[in-house]
């Protein structure tokens, strides 16, 4: 059982429970229950099979909103905002399906400040506020329910990432944290009546004013099949368009995440040392609708690989890019893609692969998340049933072609992507005679780059810079 939530009158508790015969093997078979506070009654509400989280009662006690998906093994699918009568008199209704919104905060940042907020009701029980990842933003949205109509609109117009929010008891004031590409985050207040925002904090602003972070260009570009993709280019300080620069392609993890308008120390650190840093949202990630994320369901290393290569080729055509000094890096799924790239192309002169997947077969047996990976790239079949599918998508299948000098970074306490995944790349490259190093961080988990010990995060950044300077400077 998870996510308990009290009813406004204190008589009932809503919670999520997976009571299937094998919940560890079928984690998506979750249901929403309400139980009397004295334990005398228990009711299962009529919700569709699928993941569920964050049940939230309306102030009048008539409704429960929650975040969830419909279906089992549909990791590509948008999380949606659902609504159901608290007495179970009718089935749950998906409020955001037509809007094609992903109602979760999945915008990547390395500040460690983001949080997933539960649906928040207005005092009159007519409006639900929620986060949605959309085109590089984590936006604050509102679903209003006047009568039988449904109106979904964005509350805060300013581009950026809503890291957290809270509504006053009267519903007339909204406090929220907003981060952007150039600000780690500030506290704001919105007058909901006057519809005006006020910045309340100014943390780090004096320090940031003394720094030249470089200019950022937002672009949309065409993939080889004409599909429109979204990306950003960070230029180094004192950028001169008449000169050429070394560059680093950053690939996000997930893959069900997105890059966007949030602060990334890593990007600015590399740009400050003279690199053009560019990043995009290839198909397979969230924030661009179900079709975008479904494109690589059980097909990792297909159109997502093409999208990343097309992004690199788009940059190669820019007059300020030195084609002989291009590097690539990424972590987790981004490390998977980096491993795939060095085995399938010679486009980059150096690579840094971090907490990376390399062998999807052994990954299945060593990850704490193996059931999700089985659903994501194994067509919900284990490798002993679908070994060819797992191997076809594995970077190790192609690693014998690698000639790219590659630094491998891994955390020794990584339970999501075990250390052996990085070691396989290291042993292969050593055997091939390709220049490589393996850097291991003790006592650190999968999220070293986001929430690891500060000194180790700095050491990690310096290793990345050292490797790229060696081959691209």
% of the chain at pLDDT higher than 70: 99
Under CATH, domain 2-199 is a member of which superfamily? TolB, C-terminal domain (2.120.10.30)
Cα separation of 196 and 156, whole Å? Answer: 10
* Phi, psi torsion values for 321, nearest 5 degrees: -95, 125
What confidence tens digit (pLDDT) does each residue in 295-322 have? 999 999 999 999 999 999 999 999 999 9
% of the chain at pLDDT higher than 90: 89
What confidence tens digit (pLDDT) does each residue in 111-127 have? 877 788 999 999 999 99
Q: Which CATH class is domain 212-472?
A: alpha beta
The answer on pLDDT for 417 being more than 90 is yes
Token pair for 116: 């997933």
Cα separation of 422 and 438, whole Å? Answer: 8
Token pair for 150: 């449904």
3-class secondary-structure state, position 397: helix
Report CA-CA distances (Å) from 315 to 76, 132, 237, 347, 452: 28, 29, 19, 12, 32
Residue ranges of domains in the chain: 2-199, 212-472
Angle 30-35-36 from CA coordinates, rounded to 5° = 175
Cα separation of 252 and 212, whole Å? Answer: 25
For the chain, the average pLDDT equals 95
List active site positions.
332, 446
Q: Are 336 and 422 in contact (CB under 8 A)?
A: no
3-class secondary-structure state, position 183: strand
* pLDDT for res 147: 65
What confidence tens digit (pLDDT) does each residue in 375-392 have? 888 888 999 999 999 999
What confidence tens digit (pLDDT) does each residue in 158-170 have? 999 999 999 999 9
* pLDDT for res 146: 62
Mean pLDDT in residue range 273-289: 98
What confidence tens digit (pLDDT) does each residue in 198-243 have? 999 999 899 888 999 999 999 999 999 999 999 999 999 999 999 9
What confidence tens digit (pLDDT) does each residue in 172-199 have? 999 999 999 999 999 999 999 999 999 9
The answer on pLDDT for 29 being more than 90 is no
Question: Sorting pLDDT into bands at 50, 70 and 90, what band is 448?
Answer: very high
* pLDDT for res 75: 84
* pLDDT for res 81: 97
Cα separation of 120 and 166, whole Å? Answer: 8
Of 333, 335, 341, the residue nearest 373 (C-alpha): 333
pTM of the model: 0.95
Report CA-CA distances (Å) from 376 to 75, 76, 313, 370, 460: 6, 8, 28, 10, 29
Which residues on neighbouring strands pair with residue 179, listed in sequence order?
161
């Amino acid at each position: 059982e998870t996510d308990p939530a009290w009813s406004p009158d204190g008589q009932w508790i809503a919670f999520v429970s997976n009571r299937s015969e094998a919940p560890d093997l079928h984690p998506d078979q979750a249901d929403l229950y309400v139980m009397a506070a004295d334990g005398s009654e228990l009711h299962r509400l009529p919700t569709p099979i699928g993941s569920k989280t964050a049940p939230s009662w309306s102030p009048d006690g008539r409704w429960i909103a929650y975040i969830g998906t419909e279906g089992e093994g549909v990791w590509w699918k948008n999380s949606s905002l659902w609504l159901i009568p608290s007495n179970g008199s009718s089935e749950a209704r998906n409020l955001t399906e037509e809007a094609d919104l992903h109602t979760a905060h999945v915008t990547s940042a390395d500040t460690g400040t983001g949080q997933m907020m539960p649906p928040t009701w207005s005092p009159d029980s007519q409006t639900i506020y929620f986060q949605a990842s959309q085109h590089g933003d984590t936006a604050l949205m509102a679903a209003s329910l006047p009568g039988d109509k449904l109106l979904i609109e964005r509350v805060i117009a300013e581009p950026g990432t809503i890291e957290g929010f809270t509504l006053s008891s009267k519903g007339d004031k909204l406090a929220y944290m907003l981060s952007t590409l150039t600000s780690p985050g500030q506290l704001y207040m919105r007058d909901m009546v006057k519809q005006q925002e006020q910045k309340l904090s100014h943390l780090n602003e004096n320090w940031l004013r003394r720094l030249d972070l470089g200019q950022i260009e937002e672009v949309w570009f065409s993939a080889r099949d004409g599909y429109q993709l979204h990306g950003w280019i960070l230029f180094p300080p004192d950028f001169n368009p008449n000169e050429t620069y070394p560059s680093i392609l950053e690939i996000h993890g997930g893959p069900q995440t997105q890059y966007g308008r949030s602060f990334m120390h890593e990007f600015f650190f590399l740009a400050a040392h003279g690199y053009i840093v560019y990043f995009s949202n290839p198909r397979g990630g969230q924030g661009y609708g179900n079709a975008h994320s479904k494109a690589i369901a059980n097909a990792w290393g297909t159109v997502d690989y093409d999208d990343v290569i097309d992004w690199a080729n788009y940059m190669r055509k820019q007059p300020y890019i030195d084609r002989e000094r291009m590097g690539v890096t990424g972590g987790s799924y981004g490390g998977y893609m980096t491993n795939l790239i060095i085995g399938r192309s010679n486009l980059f002169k150096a690579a840094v692969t971090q907490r990376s997947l390399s062998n999807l077969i052994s990954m299945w047996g060593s990850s704490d998340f193996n059931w999700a990976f089985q659903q994501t790239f194994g067509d919900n079949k284990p490798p002993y049933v679908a070994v060819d599918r797992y191997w076809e998508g594995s970077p190790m299948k192609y690693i014998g072609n690698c000639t790219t000098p590659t630094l491998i970074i891994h955390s020794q306490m990584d339970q999501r992507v075990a250390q052996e995944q990085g070691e396989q790349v290291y042993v292969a490259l050593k055997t091939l005679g390709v220049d490589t190093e393996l850097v291991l961080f003790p006592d650190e988990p999968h999220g070293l780059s986001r929430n690891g010990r500060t000194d180790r995060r700095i050491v990690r950044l310096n290793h990345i810079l050292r490797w790229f300077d060696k081959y691209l400077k």
